[in-house]
Amino acid sequence: MNLLIIRLIIFAVLFFAGLKLYGMYRQWKLDQETLDHQPDRSDGGQMVRCKWCDVHVPEDEALRDQQHWFCSGAHRDRFLQEQRDLNTSTPPDDTSHDDKH
C-alpha cells in the first residue's frame, strides 16, 4: 500500500515537472520568435520611419521623397512645407557680421 502511494507521488511530481518544463520551453520559444521579429532590424528592410511623426510603417505603405520616408502624403507635404519655411525664413547673414570671439 505504501509503495503505491509513493509511486503515485513520484508520478505526480514527474508530471508537474514535465508540465513546467514544457511551459518554460514554450516561453523560451515565444521569446525567440519575438526576438526574430523586431521591427528595427536593419537587415529586414521592411519597416521605415516617418520623418514627420516617427511612426514606423511598412516600406510598401510608405511614401518616399528623396532620402526621407513618410507615413502619408499629408506628412510629406508638412515636412516639405517646413523645409521650405526654414529655407525662406533664414535671412542672408550680411548684416550680422559682428565679432563673436
**Residues in the site for Zn ion, rule: CB under 5 A?**
50, 52-53, 71, 75
Nearer to Zn ion among residue 7 and residue 63 (C-beta) = 63
Tell me the three cell numbers of residue 60. 510598401
Nearer to Zn ion, 47 or 53 (CB): 53
Q: How far is CA 64 from CA 50, 54, 61, 78, 82, in A?
A: 9, 14, 10, 14, 17
Q: What minimum distance in Å lies between the beta carbon of 75 and Zn ion? A: 4
Q: Name residue, grid cell 511623426.
A: 53
Task: Return the number of the residue (48 or 52) whose C-beta is nearest Zn ion.
Answer: 52
CA angle 94/97/100 to nearest 5° reads 150
- Grid cell 503505491 is found at 4
Q: In the bound complex, what is the minimum distance in angstroms from residue 76's beta carbon to Zn ion?
A: 8
AA letter at 53: C
Give least dist CB 56 to Zn ion, A.
10
Q: In this complex, which beta carbon is closest to Zn ion, that of residue 6 or of residue 51? A: 51
Q: Name the minimum Å distance from CB 40 to Zn ion.
A: 17
